[in-house]
Amino acid sequence: MQLDELVRKLGLRVCCAEGSLGRDVRGGYVGDLLSDVMANSREGDIWITRQVHQNIVAVASLKDLAGIILIQGSEPTPDTAAKAGAEGIPILVTDLPAFEIVGRIYQLIHS
């Protein structure tokens, strides 16, 4: 499933890197510990987190993740959004808590 389909079906707010929404989402990973995400996420995963600082961009870029979803209406800091825009890493925002958004994404990907 492409990222833009996920954005449309879940009403996600696109903060940056709109040009990269054609990426394929192959799976997902949830976590706020960067070492955990670094070690265990896989290429093409959508990453669901509450971390908003700019180091999330480096992790997503190093692991070739499809994009990042920030939960509960969390906005990326301005330097995070700028860096993600420059590196073409989409950051998306949902007002839902992690459990809710993950359940919906799982259903969409595996239906």
Partner 1 sequence: MAEPLYFEKSFDVEGGSFQNAGNVSGQIKGILKDLGVSTDIVRRVAIICYESEINIVSYAKRGTITLTVTDEAVKIETKDEGPGIADIELAMKEGYSTASAAVREMGFGAGMGLANMKKYADHLIITSELGVGTYVRMMVMNFQKILHPDLPSITL
Q: Which residues bind partner 1 (CB under 8 A)?
A: 32-36, 38-39, 43, 49, 51, 53-55, 57-59, 61-63, 79
Provide, rounded to whole angstroms, the least separation between the CB of residue 99 and partner 1.
19
β-strand 67-70 against 27-30: which pairing, if any?
unpaired
Closer of 36 and 75 to partner 1 (Cβ):
36
Amino acid at 15: C
Closer of 28 and 31 to partner 1 (Cβ):
31
**Cα(87)–Cα(107) distance, integer angstroms:** 29
Closer of 43 and 75 to partner 1 (Cβ):
43
**Cα(101)–Cα(74) distance, integer angstroms:** 14
Tokens representing residue 4 in the block = 């833009």
